[in-house]
Chains A and B, each alone.
Chain A
C-alpha cells in the first residue's frame, strides 16, 4: 500500500515537472528566507547571554531633560556616578565599573596608529569573564601604565610573538606614556554590545585638566556597568534612581530655586542582555539592534513562508482537478476517504521535504553574503538537534497545510459524478480560495515593494536634503587639536590653502554629522528674565561660513580686522569682571532668546561664563553681529537646535577643506603636507558628503535586506502565478478554442487571460496600500525630517504598476502560447 502511494507520488512529481519545480523552488526559497531570518533573529537574541554574570550586570543611562529642548538621551553616565552609585546602594550593588573610549595615538617602534582604547576601572576584571590568552587581567588593570590587549590588537603590533611585557606608547591629551602589555584576551564575540579592543586603567589624576571626562556631573562620557549583589531585585535600584540623582547632583542656582536634580537628569537602567534589542539612546560602544527591527524581520519571514505555502496550496488544489479521475477510480476500487487523505498529505509532505533539502542548499549558498550584509558571523549548525527538529516540524506543517485542502476536497469527490459526467469536477469554492490566496500573495508582495521604496525614498530624501551648507567637494581633516598638531595649526592651514585645487579652509571644533552635543547656558543681559537659556555651541574661525558657503540672513561675519570679534580670553581678567565680545547666532537661537527677526537681533547680547572659579566667575557679553540660517551641521537625524557660532581658537579639532578637482590627488597632497609637519598624530580625514550619508548606514542595510526579501516574495508569488496561469490556460483551452472559432484573434485571447490575472493583483493593491501606508508612516515618524506624506501616493501606484507588469510578464508568455494554438485540438474531444 505504502509502496504504491510512494511510487504514485514520485511518478506524479516527474509527470508534472513544471508543477513540481514551481512548488519545490517556491518552497525552498521561502524556507531559505525563513532560515536566514531565523538565524539573524536567534543571533540578535543571543547577545550578552554568554557572560558568567550576565544576569546580574546592569547599565546606568542618563537623560538630560532640558526644558524647551529635545531631551538628550544617552546610554552613558557621568564619571562621579561610579563612586556615588556604590555609596548610595551599598546593600544592592556589588561592584561598578566605567568604560570610557578615547582615541589615543599608539606608537610601537615605527608603527603609529590612532586606536580606540577604553579607560576602565579595575572592577571590569571581576565583573566580566574575559577569555584570557596570556597574562593577568587584574594586573593589567592594577596601575596606570599597564594595558590589556585583545588578540587582534596584540597581533597588529606584535605579530605572533608573545606580547606580554612588551611596551606601547600612548599619547592622549597632553600625556605621553609607555604602557606595558599585561594581558591578552580573546576578541569578544560579535554578539555582545561591549566593544573592548584594548583597556587601560582609569587614573583620574591624568585627566585633571579634562574634568569633563571623569569629574563632572554635567558631562557624560563613560559607559557605567554595575553588578547586583546576589538575590537583589533590580527594582530596588530602579525605583530609587531619582533619589540617587537628588542626593548627588547639585543644580546651579541660576537655573532657579526649588528645582531638583531629578527634574533635569533622569536615570534609567537596562540589564546587559537586554541592551542589544532595546535602543536607549546615544553613546553605545557599537551599533546595536532593535527589537522592532527583529519583529519586522520575523514578520517578513512569516509572510514569505506564507506566500510559499499559498503557492503550494494553490497549485495543489488547481492540480487536484486533474487527478479527480485517479481519486474516483481509487474510491471505486475501495479506498476509504481517510486513506486518500493520508495519500495526498503524504505527497504534499514529500514535496515539502524535497523543498527543505533544496532550501538548505540555498541557505548554505547565501549565508556568507547575508552575514556580510548584516556584519555578523552567522553559521548554520546542523548538529544542533533543536534547529533540525524545528525545521522538520516546520516542513511537515507546511506540507500538511499545503496538502490538507486538496486532500479533503479530492477525497470528497463523488466518484460517480466524476466518472460519468466526465466534467470538470472543480467546485466554485476552490476557485474562490485560489483567488483569495493569489490576492494574499500579491498583497504581501506589494506591501513589501512599497516598504522598500519608502525606505529608499527616505534615505534619498535625508541624504539629498539641503543641509544648509554645501556638503559637496568638502573634506575634513581631523585631529588638528591633538598634542603634536595643535601648535602647528596656523602653519598647516597656510600650507593646505596653498595646495592647488584648495579654494578655502576653516577650523572648527566639530565636524558635520558627528552628532556631538556641546551646550552652554547663557542669559540675556539687561532683560527682566534672568533665567538662563541653553544653546548649542559650534566653535568656528573667520573662514568657517565662507568655506561652508553659508549665507548671512543679517549682519556680518567675524573679521580679522576687528580685534574684539569672538569670545574674549579670560586670561588676565579679574574675578567678577564682564568682558566684551561678539557672536553669530542661527535662526532657531533667535526664537529661543526672544530676539525677533534677524535684523532686530543685531546688537543684542548674550552673557556667558568664560572662566574663573565658582562664586568668582569671569563672564562675557557677546554682541550679536550676524545671523545665519539653521543648518543640519550637527546631524541630519535630529531637529536643528538653537546654536551659537563662537569664534574661539581653542579646541579647533577639525580643518575643513573646500576644493575643486580630483579628490584622490588632493587627499594625498594634504597627507603629504600633514606628514611633513606632524609626526606623532596619524593623518585622518573624511569627505563631508560621505560622512553625512554614513549617518544612515542602518537604514541602508535595512533597505538592502528589504529589497532582497521583497524580490524573493515577488519571485515566489510570480512562480505561483505562473503555475496557476498555465493550469488555468489548460483548463480554459475549450473556451479559448470556442472564442477563436468565433473570430477572436490571438491578441483578444491574450488580453482575456491577462485580465483574468490582473484582477487579483488590482484587488491586492487596494488591500496593500492602506496597510503599507500606515506601516510606513509610523516608521517615518522616527525621523524629524522625512518624506512628505503625499509621496506615498505615487510610491503606492508605482508599486502597483510594478506588480501588475510583473504579473503580466509572468502570465503573458503562457497566454500567447495558448492563444496561438489551433482551436480544433481543443474542441475535438470533450
Chain B
C-alpha cells in the first residue's frame, strides 16, 4: 500500500527547530492493521498526517501505491487523499451545524456523486455502524461513542482503501472504546487498511503489527503472531 523511505519532518518556528520525524522507514501492506504507539510528542500524529497527505515531509520518499508523492502539490495530494484515505480523529471533528447524515454525506460531497447515490450510500453506512436511527440528530445530541461512530461512517462512506485513526478512543470510556475498535476490526476484515495511533496496549492488540516511535525514530516493530 505505502512505503516511507528515510522520511524526516522538521518543524521550524522562529527560533526552535523540532525534528518530529527522523529518517523513518515504514512499509504498510494493503489490508494491514497497524498500530502506532509511543510517548506524547514523539511524532505519531506527524507521521499519520504525512501518511494522510495532510502534511508534506521535509525529506525522504513517500511511495503511495507505488507513486512517489513526496513532492506533489497540495491540490494533487488532495485528490489522492479524497480517493483513498479516510480519517478518524480523537475529538471526532464533526461539524456542529450539520446533522449526522449530512456530516457523513460531506465525505461524498466533493466526489461528483449524484445526490440519490449519496443518500443510498450514507444510509448504508449508517446501518453498518448502527446509527441509522440518529440520522437527523445534531452531533451535540449524541454521546461520544455515537459521535465517533459517525466519524467512522464518514471515513468509510467513500469506499476508502485506507483509514487513518489518530487516537480514536482517546476521548471515550472503555466500553465505547471497545465498540469503536470492533468496528475498525470489522472494516479491516473486509479489506480496509487501517493505521491507528493509540496509547492503549489493549487497543493496539487489535492490530496485526505495532510500530513504536520514540523521539522521531522507529524503535521497534512488533508483529503479532497471526492466530
Chain A residues in the interface with B (C-beta under 8 A): 424, 734-735, 737-746, 748, 822-824, 827-828, 830
Contact = CB atoms under 8 A, between A and B. Distances in A.
B110 A738 contact: no
B91 interface: yes
7 contacts: A738-B93, A741-B87, A742-B82, A742-B107, A742-B154, A743-B79, A823-B54
A739 to B, nearest CB: 7
A822 B110 contact: no
Given A741-B87, A742-B154, A743-B107, A824 B95 contact: no
The range of chain B's interface size is 20 to 34
B89 interface: yes
Contact of A738 (B52, B75, B78, B95): B95
Nearest to A737: B93
B78 A743 contact: yes
A830 B92 CA distance: 10
A230 B93 CA distance: 85
Main DSSP-derived SS at the A contact region: helix
B165 to A, nearest CB: 13
A746 B89 CA distance: 22
A748 B75 CA distance: 12
Question: Which 6 pairs show the lowest CB-CB distances between chains A and B?
Answer: A743-B82, A743-B110, A830-B91, A742-B107, A824-B54, A735-B95
Contact of A744 (B54, B87, B93, B110): B110
Interface in B91-108: 91, 93-97, 106-107
A735 B92 CA distance: 12
Contacts of B49: 824
A582 B217 CA distance: 114
Interface in B60-117: 75, 78-79, 81-82, 87, 89, 91, 93-97, 106-107, 109-111
A740 B93 CA distance: 12
A829 to B, nearest CB: 9
Nearest to B56: A822
Interface of B: 45, 49, 52, 54-55, 75, 78-79, 81-82, 87, 89, 91, 93-97, 106-107, 109-111, 154
A145 to B, nearest CB: 89
B12 to A, nearest CB: 15
A737 B78 CA distance: 12
Contacts of A824: 49, 54-55
A745 B78 contact: yes
B219 to A, nearest CB: 24
Which of B49, B93, B110 has the most chain A CB atoms closer than 10 A to its own CB?
A: B93
Contact of A743 (B81, B93, B94): B81
A746 B77 CA distance: 13
A742 B54 contact: no
B110 A748 contact: yes
Contacts of B54: 741, 822-824
B106 A742 contact: yes
B121 to A, nearest CB: 14
Given A742-B106, A824-B55, 16 more contacts: A735-B95, A738-B93, A739-B106, A739-B110, A742-B82, A742-B110, A743-B79, A743-B110, A744-B110, A745-B75, A745-B78, A748-B110, A822-B54, A822-B55, A824-B54, A827-B89
A827 B87 CA distance: 12
A735 B139 CA distance: 13
Nearest to B89: A827
A827 to B, nearest CB: 6
Contacts of A735: 95-97
Contacts of A748: 110
A203 B110 CA distance: 92
B168 to A, nearest CB: 14
A746 to B, nearest CB: 8
A218 B29 CA distance: 109
A151 to B, nearest CB: 71
A745 B93 contact: no
A491 to B, nearest CB: 84
Contacts of A740: 78
Contacts of A741: 52, 54, 81, 87, 93
A727 to B, nearest CB: 16
A745 B79 CA distance: 9
A748 B55 CA distance: 20
A738 B106 contact: yes
A429 to B, nearest CB: 15
Which of B52, B82, B94 has the most chain A CB atoms closer than 10 A to its own CB?
A: B82
A435 B91 CA distance: 30
B224 to A, nearest CB: 30
A321 to B, nearest CB: 14
A142 to B, nearest CB: 87
